[in-house]
């Protein structure tokens, strides 16, 4: 085996919208609302192996806008990427899948959410930047604390 075959590889094979949905349950009356909505944003990511050295990461964003108890809109977008990751030490794989891959996908899902909300007739929702490194570190710390308490660690990638 030559040295070139042992070189670390990280490449993007494909970026795509895997899932997208929009609901406007109270249309058309909701378009007459003058009050600013409360906007809730949920973020979730997961990575799974597809084949040896090939992974899919899915970053899902759910945006819910409500005025009082009425939902103005609900958007859920899943931006996915297929990544080739080979010859990377095992201890480096988890941070790549939990930080680097979501960082690559996030600008795309931001654009999808903003575009869908605008096309639905609402002012665009511009998602603020996310520090996936800080989220990853917080998740690892929570898992370590759970392990110290004797509880089985729960792997959770919801942010």
62-75 confidence digits (pLDDT tens): 999 999 999 999 99
Look at the chain and report how many structural domains it folds into: 1
pTM for this entry? 0.86
- Chain position carrying tokens 């792997």: 155
CATH code for the domain in which residue 121 is found: 3.10.420.10
Domain that holds residue 108: 13-129
Say if 60 falls within a structural domain. Answer: yes
* Assigned domain for 134 exists: no
Are the CB atoms for 126 and 111 separated by under 8 Å? no
Residues 82-98: tens digit of each pLDDT: 999 999 998 999 999 99
Confirm whether 155 is domain-assigned. no
Rg of the chain on CA atoms, in Å: 19
Question: Is residue 34 a part of any domain in this protein?
Answer: yes
Could you tell me if residue 141 is inside a domain? Answer: no
């Amino acid at each position: 085996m030559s040295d070139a075959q042992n070189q670390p590889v990280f490449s993007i094979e494909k970026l795509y919208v895997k899932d997208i949905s929009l609901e406007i349950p109270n249309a058309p009356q909701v378009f007459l609302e003058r009050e600013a909505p409360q906007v809730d944003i949920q973020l979730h990511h997961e990575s799974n192996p597809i084949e040896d050295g090939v992974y899919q990461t899915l970053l899902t964003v759910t945006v819910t806008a409500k005025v009082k108890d009425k939902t103005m809109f609900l958007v859920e977008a899943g931006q996915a990427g297929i990544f080739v990751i080979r010859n990377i030490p095992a201890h480096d794989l988890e941070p790549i899948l939990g930080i680097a891959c979501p960082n690559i996908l996030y600008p795309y899902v931001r654009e999808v959410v903003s575009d869908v909300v605008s096309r639905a007739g609402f002012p665009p929702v511009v998602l603020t930047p996310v520090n996936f490194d800080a989220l990853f570190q917080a998740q690892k710390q929570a898992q370590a604390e759970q392990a110290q308490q004797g509880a089985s660690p729960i792997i959770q990638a919801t942010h």
